[in-house]
Chain A
Amino acid sequence: MNLTRSAWMAALLTALIAPVATAVAGEQIVPVQNCTWCHGTSAQGYAMAPRLAGQRPAYLETQLNSFREHFRDAPLSKQYMWSATAALGPQAARDLAAYFSTIPPRAANDGNTNLATMGRTIYMNGIPDANIAACYACHGPNAEGIRDIPRLGGLSRFYLKARLEQWGQGYHSVPGSPMPLVARPLASAEIEALASYLSFVK
């Protein structure tokens, strides 16, 4: 019995000491964990939190600053990101943006495949009759984005849909964004189709 207990205590002590040693020896980038907490272990998105991996660094940086200044004001932004960026300096925002932009993105693939063709048509051609511009013009042929125009390809259907809807609901992103004007005329079926199509784009 005593031997068992001694062995047990030894195992307990080893288990407690080993991680301390690892923690001291290992290089941990703490602020990254503060993001991946919600955005997924490799920042590919988790539940309602969008994918950050592979996003345009300039876009990530401007959005982080926009959250911090309480300009980006959709409900989930207010709920989570205002607090998350309250203590985040501009340089740290730039560094985090640079870090996440280098992680290879994976497509969410969670859209409705039946709507993907219609979504692709809207994305590439817009809807001229409704005066809706082609998304392709700014976000690129592969929805990869450029500078502070975000990569949309492979983001989750839920996130894309929520964002497209929010443009018409009066929420803000960054000063001077053309999106409220561009996206407001989109009907809900068109939003659903775009979100579905984009979720499959690699």
Chain B
Amino acid sequence: MRDRRSDPMWTKGGVAAAMAIFAAVVQLVMIGGSTPASALPSFARQTGQPCGTCHTSFPGLTPFGRRFKLLGYTTGGGLYKTTPFGNNNGPQEAYAALRSYANRMDSGGDTQPAASSGERGWVPPISMMAIAGFTHTQADIPAPSDPYRPNDNAVLTPFSGFWGGAITSNIGAFAQVTYNAPDPVSGLSGTPADKFLHTWTWDNTDVRFASTTRIGPLDIIYGITANNNPTVQDLWNTTPAWTFPYAVSNLGSTPGASTMIEGAFAAHVVGVGAYTMINDMLYLEATGYQTLRFTQQNSLGVDPFGAPGQFSAVAPYWRVALEPHWGPHTFMFGTYGMIFNVNPWIDSTFVQGTTGVLGIADRFTDVGFDSQYQYQGSNYWITLRANYLREFQQLNASFPTGASANPNNLLNTLRLTGEVTFGGDDRFALTGQYFKVWGTPDANLYSVGGGFANNSPNSSGWMAELDYIPFGMGKAPGWPWFNAKIGLQYVYYNKFNGTTLGAQDNNTVFLHAWFAM
């Protein structure tokens, strides 16, 4: 029998996380009620809708899930009061306004204020999520693997707390705080910079204002988003922040090369932007991002050296998506992109004790093209997703300093994903994905020391995941806001970091239980 004290699942952070879950469950049990469960249960309390209205296999979104996000997480309709503000814009006043409108229209009817019957008080839109996973990799983790065993580890990570829901009738938020289990010792850099590694961090955050209007023949939804991760605000699960795989093992290997927009600056930046949806079909967005200062990142639980550097100017992000839809069919054709001017760290190892950046900047221009088709059947969903990203690298800083061997590089990534979700409750989801990373060989960027072979960033492989979701349309007995997903994920590499030789050593089986409450 294993000693619990040495089991990573019971590390100090893990125990704290488990206690936090317990405390929160006890607190929320006091609220009671009979609302169906959802991926983010606070959204279910607010809308009254079950998980399956917005999600196929969470966090993958249905057309209605996308509209909920578009409208700023503010839509209500559940048994509970939508916002904490009773004096303005609350449901009672809104119903009164509607009553007044109805009276004007039909010049009749009684004048008593309309009320939603059975409405209960406001409950803070707090949710929690935890993923407990078992990981088997084809080859053992390189020694030293502390605090883990060389293989076949059970780890509780991540654990997240959320604020998810309306603040006013126009403003809503999705904000996540996450505990991530530490990396194996062999995965650390072994430099003084390791002291900036954290387990608790601010995670995906998206605060929105949204409203609607009409201009001539056009129905307009417009809004403002303030967020901390380019594409976290996007509506489609094709773009990087919310793309499949939704849960990955912290002990599995992932390709070393990826474009900047694929999370390189997630939580290192803040951005503010404006978006609109015209005639429920054309989505346009422009957002500007800036990196947080070193100390700000560190205080928020983010390792600043985890990103390539600091932006020298506001980084523009753009998004255009056309979503034709009829009956059960929804298409999307889109493009998006971002331009990053990045001053690299002078010394990302922190050996020199400096947190400064170089005066010259690398420029990365990422352009993405994505598409989705979604079909809603009587008791199933079919979703096909494609995402292609092309990154133009102008290494004006990295080339002179020798960090790269070329002044200009190209890097491409491709993900083709198919998902079939079957069933209401007792729902099964089968997802398959082909992924590929390829680009210009570079002797310094993709060196043997950096874990690459043949100076090449190229990787490719397949991923398959089978999920079981017990409560897609209904509710958990005794605790209506609980939902779960049991997932078995297998990642197979044809090529890993530039070589097919030994690529399969990185193949990973990840059996995980994802709890949301």
CB 8 Å contact bits of A123-144 with B (1 = contact, 0 = none) = 0000000000000000000000
Q: Which of B82-135 contact A (CB under 8 A)?
A: 82, 88-91, 94-95, 97-99, 101-102, 105-106, 109-110, 112, 114-119
**Chain B residues near A83 (CB, 8 Å)?**
36, 47-50, 53, 77-78
Known: A83-B49, A87-B48. A98 touches B270 (CB 8 A): no
Shortest beta-carbon distance, B427 to chain A, in Å? Answer: 13
Which residues from A are CB-within-8-Å of B116? 31, 87-89, 92
A30 with B94: in contact, given A83-B48, A95-B102, A99-B102 (CB under 8 Å)?
yes
CA–CA, A104 and B248, complex, Å:
49
State which of A40, A98, A157 has its C-beta within 8 Å of the C-beta of B101: A98
**B290:A84 contact, CB within 8 angstroms:** no
From the candidates B71, B313, B330, name the one contacting A33 in the complex (CB within 8 A): B71
- Which residues 469-488 of B have a CB within 8 angstroms of A? 473
Return chain B residues, CB-CB under 8 Å to A22: 170, 209, 211
Cβ-closest chain A residue relative to B48: A83
Q: Which of A13-21, A145-153, A179-187 contacts B (4 or more CB under 8 A)?
A: A13-21
Does B441 count as interface, using CB distance less than 8 angstroms?
Answer: no
Which residues 18-46 of A sit at the B interface, judged by CB distance below 8 A?
18-20, 22-24, 26-34, 36-38, 40-42, 44, 46
With A29-B97, A47-B376, A84-B49 as contacts: A34 and B76 at CB distance below 8 Å: yes
Residue A23 contacts which of B77, B98, B169 (CB distance < 8 angstroms)?
B169
CB distance from A147 to the nearest CB of B (A): 13
CB < 8 Å: which of A12, A37, A90 contacts B67? Answer: A37
Q: Mask for B375-400, Cβ within 8 A of A = 1, else 0?
A: 01011000000000000000000000
- Within 8 Å by CB of A29, from B68, B94, B270, B328, lies B94
**A34 and B77 contact, CB distance less than 8 A:** yes
> Do B75 and A37 touch across chains, with their CB atoms under 8 A apart?
yes
Q: Is the CB of A92 within 8 A of B50?
A: no
Bound: A14/B77 CA distance, A: 31
Pick from B14-22, B220-228, B496-504 the stretch touching chain A. B220-228
Residue B171 interfacial (CB < 8 Å): yes
A94 at the binding interface (Cβ < 8 Å): yes
- A79 contacts chain B at the CB level, 8 A cutoff: yes
Least CB separation from B120: chain A residue: A87
Chain B CB within 8 A of A71 CB: no
Q: B313 — which chain A residues lie within 8 A by C-beta?
A: 4
Whether, in the assembled complex, B246 has its beta carbon less than 8 Å from a beta carbon of chain A, the answer is no
Contact B95 A31 (CB under 8 A): yes
CB contacts (< 8 Å) of A171 on chain B: these are none
Query: B89 touching A40 by the CB < 8 A rule?
Result: no
A114 within 8 A of B: no
Select A31's contact among B98, B214, B288, beta carbons within 8 Å. Answer: B98
**Would you call B219 an interface residue if the criterion is a C-beta within 8 Å of the partner chain's C-beta atoms?**
yes
Report A97-110 CB contacts with B as 1/0, cut-off 8 Å: 01101100000001
- B79 near A: Cβ within 8 Å? yes
Q: Which chain A positions have C-beta within 8 A of B288? A: 11
**B449 near A: Cβ within 8 Å?**
no
Are A29 and B101 in touch, CB under 8 angstroms? Answer: yes
Is B508 positioned at the interface, with any CB of A under 8 Å from its CB?
no
- Assess whether A5 is in contact with B290, with CB atoms less than 8 Å apart: yes
- Write the B205-216 contact mask toward A (1 if CB under 8 angstroms, else 0): 001010110100
B290 CB, min distance to chain A CBs, angstroms: 5
Q: Of all chain B residues, which has the CB nearest A79?
A: B473
Residue A75 CB within 8 A of the other chain = yes
Which A residues are CB-close (under 8 A) to B68? 37
- Cα A156 to Cα B272 in complex, Å, equals 38
With contacts A26-B211, A46-B67 known, is A31 near B94, CB below 8 A? Answer: yes
- Given A47-B376, A89-B115: A28 and B169 within 8 A (CB)? yes
Whether the Cβ atoms of B101 and A95 lie closer than 8 Å is: yes
- Using known A-B contacts A31-B95, A83-B50, determine if residue A20 contacts B171 with beta carbons closer than 8 Å: yes
Q: How far is the CA of A77 from the CA of B48 in the complex (A)?
A: 14
How many residues of chain B are within 8 Å of chain A by beta carbon? 75
Measured between C-beta atoms, what is the minimum distance from B125 to chain A in Å?
Answer: 16
Asked if B290 contacts A8 (CB within 8 A), the reply is yes
- Identify the closest chain A residue to B379 (Cβ): A75
Residue of A nearest to B78 (CB): A87
**Contact among B82, B89, B95, B293 with A92 in the assembled complex (CB-CB below 8 Å):** B95
A91 to B103, CA, bound (A): 12
Residue B421 at the chain A interface, CB threshold 8 Å? no
Residues from chain A with Cβ under 8 Å of B293 in the complex? 5
Nearest B residue to A86, CB-CB: B48
CB <8 Å contact, A19 and B170: yes
Chain B contacts of A102 at CB under 8 A? 105
CB-contacts of B274-323 with A (<8 A): 277, 279-280, 288, 290, 293, 313-314
CA distance A52 to B98 in the complex (A): 16
Contact indicator B270/A89 (Cβ below 8 Å): no
Closest to B91 in A: A30
Given A84-B48, A87-B119, decide whether A98 and B97 contact each other with a Cβ distance below 8 A.
no
Q: How far is the CA of A92 from the CA of B118 in the complex (A)?
A: 12
> How many Å lie between the Cα of A48 and that of B77 in the bound state?
19
Interface pair B224/A19, CB less than 8 Å apart: yes
Does A41 contact B220, Cβ atoms closer than 8 Å? Answer: yes
Query: A201 on the interface (CB 8 Å rule)?
Result: no
- What residues of chain B lie closer than 8 Å to A23, measured between beta carbons? 89, 168-171, 209, 211
**Chain B's nearest CB lies how many Å from the CB of A105?**
13
Can you list 11 pairs linking A and B with CB atoms under 8 Å apart? A23-B168, A24-B168, A29-B101, A34-B75, A79-B50, A86-B78, A86-B118, A87-B77, A89-B115, A89-B117, A94-B109
Q: Could you tell me which B residues sit within 8 Å of A by CB distance? A: 36, 47-50, 52-53, 63-64, 67-68, 71, 74-79, 82, 88-91, 94-95, 97-99, 101-102, 105-106, 109-110, 112, 114-119, 168-171, 207, 209, 211-212, 214, 219-221, 224, 226, 270, 272, 277, 279-280, 288, 290, 293, 313-314, 325-328, 330, 376, 378-379, 424, 473
> A-side interface residues toward B, CB under 8 Å?
4-5, 8, 11-12, 15-16, 18-20, 22-24, 26-34, 36-38, 40-42, 44, 46-49, 57, 75, 79-80, 83-84, 86-92, 94-96, 98-99, 101-102, 110, 156-159
Beyond the given A5-B290, A79-B53, could you list 16 further A-B residue pairs with CB under 8 A, ordered by the A residue number? A5-B293, A12-B272, A23-B211, A30-B94, A31-B95, A31-B98, A41-B279, A47-B376, A48-B376, A80-B53, A87-B118, A88-B117, A89-B115, A91-B99, A99-B98, A157-B327
